[in-house]
């Protein structure tokens, strides 16, 4: 994810292609989204209208769980920087805890169900 005031689908697709090209051979799939344009499609996908995000950090702070609300980037000094508004303890401890800022209980439960299939030892905090 990234934040760019250019809200065009073409720019987002070009950014996705550029990043995918740099990660050729990577075993993981990537999903590149411009957080500045999420409000344009969020209601159709999740049934809830949201206000436009003001920054990448603003978007991350609404992600569905405390453990997944995490961003990492390389700064101008080539140093890794971490943005974790709820800390990283839940991530390191395998705890799934809802971030109720934006999601609904049904969205949370769907994520919990999917993740438990992959990682059955997760500790899940009820809604």
pLDDT of amino acid 29: 81
Are residues 3 and 53 in contact, defined by beta-carbon separation less than 8 angstroms?
yes
CB neighbourhood size of 116 (10 A):
13
Q: For residue 83, which phi and psi values (nearest 5 degrees)? A: -115, 115
pLDDT of amino acid 76: 96
Confidence (pTM):
0.86
pLDDT band at 26 (very low <50, low <70, confident <90, very high): confident
- End-to-end Cα, the chain, rounded Å: 26
Q: Give per-residue pLDDT as tens, 28-69.
A: 888 899 999 999 999 998 888 999 999 999 999 999 999 999
Q: Give per-residue pLDDT as tens, 77-93.
A: 999 999 999 999 999 99
* Structure tokens that stand for 34 in this block: 């411009």
Report strand pairing: 123-124 vs 71-74: unpaired
* Distances 37 to 31, 90, 95 between C-alpha atoms, Å: 14, 28, 30
Q: Give per-residue pLDDT as tens, 66-125.
A: 999 999 999 999 999 999 999 999 999 999 999 999 989 998 999 999 999 999 999 999
pLDDT band at 25 (very low <50, low <70, confident <90, very high): confident
Instruction: Compute the average pLDDT of residues 1-15.
Output: 95
């Amino acid at each position: 994810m990234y934040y760019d005031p250019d809200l065009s689908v073409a720019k987002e697709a070009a950014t996705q292609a550029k990043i995918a090209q740099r990660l050729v051979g990577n075993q993981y799939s990537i999903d590149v989204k411009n957080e500045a344009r999420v409000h344009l499609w969020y209601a159709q996908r999740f049934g809830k209208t949201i206000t436009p995000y003001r920054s990448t950090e603003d978007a991350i702070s609404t992600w569905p769980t405390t453990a997944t609300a995490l961003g990492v980037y390389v700064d101008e000094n080539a140093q890794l920087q971490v943005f974790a508004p709820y800390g990283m303890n839940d991530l390191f401890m395998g705890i799934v805890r809802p971030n109720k800022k934006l999601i609904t209980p049904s969205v949370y439960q769907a994520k919990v169900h999917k993740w438990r299939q992959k990682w059955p030892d997760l500790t899940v905090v009820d809604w």
